[in-house]
Amino acid sequence: MGDVSAEHTSRPGIAEGHVASTDRLPPRAVPTRLSFRRSPLALAGAAFFLVAAIPFAFGAPWLWLVYVLPLAFSYWIVRVRTVVDAESVTARRPFSSRRVPWTEISSLRLGKKSRVSAVLTDGTELPLPTVHVRDLPVLAAVSGGRLPDPAQAGAPTPEPPSTPERT
């Protein structure tokens, strides 16, 4: 490993890469475009279903249509995503896509199962597929300050440790 300054080794574990949320780290470069999507590993499930359906598909005429299910699932995995950049948010669904500039987004609404929707200035909601509550700090960073970072907004300011008085 390279040299680590005394400032970064003041706490045990920082030199080894173990950090806590209160540690001050150098700021990283914020990406200009970010895509929230399903894991490509889910395609393995579709491939497994495709292979497992072989005996069923050849069991009777027209049962080969069972292959439509894993193909549709694969299309859904590849297609559905939310793309965020400095100018806009794009929500892609299986058969539609909607691009909304940041100026039309007034806030975010947190729904059930940690789903996130963008509330537009006209009062309508735009569900952001594959964006979850855990993604909000990254979404705030890519937004260029248009959205507040929830991790920073609710974080209490650390107070210096007090020294006990001697009696």
Question: Which CATH number fits the domain that encloses residue 142?
Answer: 2.30.29
Which residues span the domain enclosing 147?
33-151
> What ranges make up the beta strands (E) of 43-132?
81-85, 88-92, 97-101, 105-110, 115-120, 125-132
Cβ proximity of 113 and 131 under 8 Å:
no
Q: Would you say residue 40 has pLDDT above 60?
A: yes
Number of structural domains found in the chain: 1
Least confident of 32-41, 51-60, 103-112, 152-161: 152-161
Structural domain contains residue 119: yes
Structural domain contains residue 16: no
Q: Would you say residue 124 has pLDDT above 90?
A: yes
Residue 98 gets which letter from DSSP? E
Tell me the pTM. 0.68
Higher pLDDT, 93 or 61: 93
Higher pLDDT, 129 or 32: 129
- pLDDT reported for residue 41: 94
Cβ proximity of 125 and 117 under 8 Å:
yes
